Amino acid sequence: MRVILAVIAAVGLALGFIFWAFGPRAEGTQQAEPQAEQAQPQADQVSVLRIEGMTCGGCAAAVKMAAKGVDGVKDAVVSLEANTADVTYDASKTTADAIARAVSEKSGFTATVATQSTSER
Beta strands in 4-102 (DSSP E): 44-52, 73-79, 84-89
Q: Burial-class residue 120 by CB neighbours within 10 Å (0-12, 13-18, 19+).
A: exposed
Strand partners, 21: none
What pLDDT does 39 receive? 46
Closest CA to 103 of 80, 85, 83: 85
Secondary structure class of 74 (helix, strand, coil): strand
pTM over 0.95: no
Q: Which residues of the chain have pLDDT under 50?
A: 39
**Cross-strand partners of 96:** none
Contact (CB, 8 A) for 63 and 13: no
Supply the pLDDT for residue 115: 87
Q: Which amino acid is residue 84, in one-letter code? A: T
Residue 88: the pLDDT is: 96
CA–CA gap between residue 53 and residue 43 (Å, rounded): 32
pLDDT given at position 4: 76
Determine contact, residues 74/93, Cβ cutoff 8 Å. no
pLDDT given for residue 61 in this prediction:
96
Given a contact cutoff of 8 angstroms between Cβ atoms, the answer to whether 108 and 62 are in contact is yes
